[in-house]
Structure formats: C-alpha cells, structure tokens
Amino acid sequence: MAKLYFRYGAMNSGKSTAMLQAAYNYEERGQHVLLAKPAIDTKGADEISSRLGVSRPVDFLIAPDDDVRALFAEHRARVRRDADASLVPESNEHPVDIACLLIDEAQFLTRDQVDDLLRIVVLEGIPVIAYGIRTDFQTQAFPGSRRLLELAHSLEELKTICRCGRKAIYNARLVGGRFVFDGDQVAIDELSTARVTYESLCAEDYLRASGGRLG
C-alpha cells in the first residue's frame, strides 16, 4: 500500500541530501520519480541543492494557489508520453509510471496542498515522501508541517546537532549575524536586504539566545 511519509528535521539535518539520495535509489533501479518544491523557496530557483554540493532540477514548482494533485497528474502524463515515444513498436516492455513523488521544503505547502498529497497516495496509489522542518524561528509550526504531522502514515526525524553537541531541534534566525525573534514566518535571504541565516539549536541554547522566550 502506498504511504505518505514526512521526514523532518531542524535546519542542516541533511533533508535535501536524503531526498536526492532517495531519488537516486529509485532511478538506479530503473524507476521514475518526480521532484517538486514550493515556489516560495527561491534558494536555487528551480533546483534542489544539498550542502554536499549535489543538486538537480525539480520537475515542477508549487505556487501557493496550485492544485498539487492536478500538477502531479500533468507531469505524470508527460513522463508516460515521453516513455511511450521512446518505446519500439510492439515492445513487450511494461508501461512506465511514477514510482514516487518527492517534495522538498514541504513546510511551505498549504493545508489544502498537503491534503492533495494524501489524495495522490490513497486515490492514485503513488507514494509521496515530503521533507521539511517542523517549526519556524519562533518555535511555531508551519501550516504544511502541521498538516503533515496530522496526516502522514509515517513520520521520521532526521537529526542534527547543536553547537554544544546536543541534539538540535529548533531553528534560530540570525540577521546580519545576530539572533532575532521577531518578524515574518518566512524570510529567505534572497528576498531580504539584510543577510538572513539560520542556526539549529538545542532547547537549552535556544532559550539562552532568546532570553527564555518561546514564540
């Protein structure tokens, strides 16, 4: 049975690397995958990039008002057409289909778009693996992550460490190298006049940096 997977972790826990590895594993076995990410994530434009220097283009971007199931159907049909065009007439090869849909930065999806992912899994029989972070720099859940935590068949935490060596679970925002705890939920460096970066922290170091503030 196909399942909806949510693989989450703090910043720099290797989510994009894990996603690219999953895509490679499918394709090494001759299977086809589709890769997508929300259009709001302008880092790397239409690419998925890992900190290890590996990258590849996405098959489609998801705008905030997009119907993800319809987008998936469109690109699934394209893959099938391209495969059919390459087959020798009267070939005995099996029809090509998508083995898995992989979503990067899934926290930026809307609630309705996560619902679409579940429909793809249940009604189309295609596994979906979504990668993202649970909470923002104020420890508040992103709408997409909250819905994935509610709906996913399988939850898997990808771990990383804090500067102190403990497990990091929170994402702290820095502007110009200084921690900030106020501002919009989404602040991507390319859209900002000041340099925006993030650091993964354990609970102790997050509270120390925020002066005990949560949210």
Dihedral sign from CA coordinates of 82, 128, 146, 174: negative
Q: Which of 38, 39, 19, 44 is nearest to 189 (CA)?
A: 44
Which listed residue (47, 74, 90, 105) is catalytic? 105
150 is catalytic: no
| Alpha carbon distances (Å) from 79 to 27, 33, 39, 59, 75 | 14, 9, 21, 10, 6
CA of 170: how far to CAs of 15, 140, 150, 209, in Å?
15, 10, 20, 12
The residues annotated as belonging to the active site are 105
